[in-house]
A and B are shown apart, each in its own frame.
Chain A
Amino acid sequence: MSRVAIRVEGLGKRYRIGRRERYHALRDVLARAFSGSVDAGAPDLAGAPGDSLWALKGVSFELGEGDILGVVGANGAGKSTLLKILSRITGPTEGYAEVRGRVGSLLEVGSGFHPELSGRENVYLNGAILGMRKVEIASKFDEIVAFAEVERFVDMPVKHYSTGMYLRLAFAVAAHLQPDILLVDEVLAVGDVSFQRKCLGKMGDVASGGRTVILVSHNVLAIEYLCRSALLLEQGVVACRGTPRTVLEEYLGRSTAVARRVDLDSVRTRSGSGQIRLASVEIGTLEGPENSVIRSGDGFVIRLGFRCRERVVRPVFSVAIYSLSGVPIFAVHTSDASIDIRDLAHDGCIELEIARANLMPGRYWLHVAVGDEMDPHRYDHVLNAVALELEPADVYGSGKLGAAGWTVVFLDCRWRLTRESRVGSR
């Protein structure tokens, strides 16, 4: 029996809804104070129950040294909050957690990277931010640079790096931190496939090196591949703990009756400045009743409800379809196709009609975003906003599903056998 590396006991975190606003204006506080409202400047406890939200409630678990725990759950289930508490970024409201050893948290790659500084300088800066000593960084410097494959550019400001180089370097620093406990949040969602594979490999190394890892991911494959146990969080509560397979089945099973319409207001794991916020996302059928199944090869429509906080010029909406294992399959921007929005100043809804979904049956995630030409994620970006469930269909008209099990798309195609022995002749 190994020693306990992490013990979490009755952990809870309450957010006051007001606190989640981007910021307060002093004016509001003064106005409230003068209007004699009791709430002004009152401590946390005074808020009415409706004013607060438990992001985590009564979470308890133990993790032995060298264990790898995968945490899954829908958006807003409290996964990120759990990691933030364990990495001491924010404090719990109740309960406690004990962690043995040095904690490395990788909630974002490249935290603290400065675009003006060179790769070399950023490795030192980022390493120090992650809690490494200078001598430690120096001794691993060559290894880090080699892993990131940026040897030739190491003295160039990182603002001139490609996105791939930047991410590789950032991940490399974090991967060489050698913590006793590594907390990883969705980092694998970034970068191209080869980079993701490299990260997975490195994390596998870290894990087999006897370190304790907690991995939060929507990437079901990664969790199944890397983790020895898994935990399902649902609305801040531990819904299930067990082997990755049982937990993932539970997770996927629970969301079988996938909501076709998701209210995005409560989603906290989003980025963007917020001039426009995506308020809802809905998948609708092209014909027939709204709630009828959508099958492989059917058309469907995606509706994005949005709220405009201030006037924005030339907004660009985008929708991307990802496989459950996190592989990008399709993405389209309003600016790519047939629609050009001059400016927006009021709430509304935008619809994307997909005439025919050439996707194999199964579940896909939709990522939605709004931004502008320069940065399509500038205003708002919600990963895994809604699940798209495609029911099996006889796409080839043969009564068989064929290779559906391991492929993602199907193309409109037809076999033809001719007598000609030469290929390509007519």
Chain B
Amino acid sequence: MGADGAEPIGRGVTRITPRAGWPVLDVRELWDYRELLYFLVWRDIKVRYKQTVIGAAWAIIQPVFAMVIFTIFFGMLAKLPSGNLPYPLFYYSGLLPWLYFSGAFQHATNAIIDHQRLITKVYFPRLLLPLAAVVCGLVDFAVAFVILVAMMAFYGIAPAAGVLLLPIFLLLAVATALGAGLWLSVLNATYRDVRYVVPFLIQLWLFASPVVYPSSLVPEAWRWLYGLNPMAGVIEGFRWALLGQGQPPALLGVSAAVVALVLLGGVIYFSRAEETIADIV
């Protein structure tokens, strides 16, 4: 941090006017408040594990249990195909990005209503709230990732060269959670019904993503439609990058485009609502 890092936020003249035209995302202001993002994430993590007995182990327990259950029911009993991968590895590598996404998405959806009091009493860029929600999930993801590495070592599977692309797939998952979360956080604050819709939506989304089955199960003719679900690209990408299974997702471009649209629309929608959100919640 340089000398200007200590420069207080918000010097100069601020002009407060009614909203006119398209909202412009104030990137500079967002950057000014970067430390608040850090503190919000830090608070969420700290509070989450403060009074738990096993603390951060929860981040591992959830995906591991889901993996065991999936392996037994979808793998050993239903005998769904898993490419040429061992079932536990197949499911765990899918669950990892999926659980990150579903958690971050749900957390982001509640970002505004969880901070009602704050929003009506203090000004700061509201975008930080959903942003903190999706960043926070990355910590759990990192913890659970260690298990995946251990499992790969156990099964003797070395990562393919595509592993270099892994950050891109992760970024895509973050962007998807944020984009969808931005839309739904505002809707959630305006219409409280949304709270009941989201878990249902996540459940549907799970079945529309190749977590319990490989996407090769989807008929060729419908692949393009399937690719519209960015999480399909992300999860396939994960398996490909880490385990070398299947092809690099052909529909990555489509997925990325969809995410870009959702995210851009979300930022605009959120920024428009930002000014009046304190009157609604």
Contact = CB atoms under 8 A, between A and B. Distances in A.
Contact of B5 (A19, A90, A133): A133
Nearest to A20: B279
Contact of A128 (B6, B39, B193): B39
A89 B47 contact: no
A323 B8 CA distance: 40
A88 interface: yes
A96 interface: yes
B153 interface: no
B224 interface: no
A89 B123 contact: yes
B78 interface: no
Contacts of B217: none
A108 B119 CA distance: 12
B10 interface: yes
A394 interface: no
Nearest to B10: A102
Contacts of A27: 193
A133 to B, nearest CB: 6
Given A26-B191, A133-B8, A125 B39 contact: yes
Interface string A67-100: 0000000000000000011111111111111111
A225 B167 CA distance: 60
Contact of B275 (A90, A108, A132, A133): A90
B50 A102 contact: no
A293 interface: no
A134 B276 CA distance: 29
Contact of A89 (B11, B17, B120, B189): B120
Interface string B1-45: 100011011111111111100000000000001011011001100
Q: Which of A103, A117, A125, A133 has the most CB of B within 10 A?
A: A133
Interface string A125-165: 10011111111100000000000000000000000000000
Interface in B99-153: 117-124
B39 A124 contact: yes
A26 B275 contact: no
B262 to A, nearest CB: 21
Interface in B225-281: 275-276, 278-281
Contacts of A121: 43, 46
A24 to B, nearest CB: 5
A348 interface: no
A103 B14 contact: yes
A128 B35 contact: yes
Contacts of B117: 108, 111-112
Q: Which of A90, A93, A116, A178 has the most CB of B within 10 A?
A: A90
A107 interface: yes
A114 interface: yes
A101 interface: yes
A15 interface: yes
B56 interface: no
B39 A92 contact: no
A91 B18 contact: yes
A134 B192 contact: no
Given A26-B193, A29-B191, A117-B43, A107 B275 contact: no
A92 B279 CA distance: 11
A15 B279 contact: yes
Contacts of B203: none
A135 B35 CA distance: 10
Q: Which of B10, B189, B278 has the most CB of A within 10 A?
A: B10
A23 interface: yes
Interface string B75-119: 000000000000000000000000000000000000000000111
Nearest to B115: A112
Contacts of A23: 189-192, 280-281
A90 B276 contact: yes
B201 to A, nearest CB: 14
A114 B43 contact: yes
Contact of B16 (A98, A125, A136): A98
A212 interface: no
A91 B193 contact: no
A417 interface: no
Contacts of B1: 135
B194 interface: yes
B6 A101 contact: no
A210 to B, nearest CB: 15
A105 B120 CA distance: 11
A25 interface: yes
A103 B124 CA distance: 11
Given A25-B192, A99-B16, A114-B47, A105 B122 contact: yes
Contacts of A86: 16
Shortest beta-carbon contacts, A-B, top 4 = A91-B275, A26-B193, A26-B191, A128-B39
Given A19-B279, A89-B122, 13 more contacts: A23-B190, A24-B191, A25-B192, A85-B16, A90-B276, A93-B18, A98-B13, A101-B10, A101-B11, A102-B10, A103-B14, A107-B121, A136-B8
18 contacts: A24-B191, A26-B191, A90-B279, A91-B275, A92-B17, A97-B16, A98-B13, A99-B13, A99-B16, A102-B9, A103-B14, A105-B121, A129-B36, A129-B118, A130-B122, A131-B8, A131-B124, A134-B35
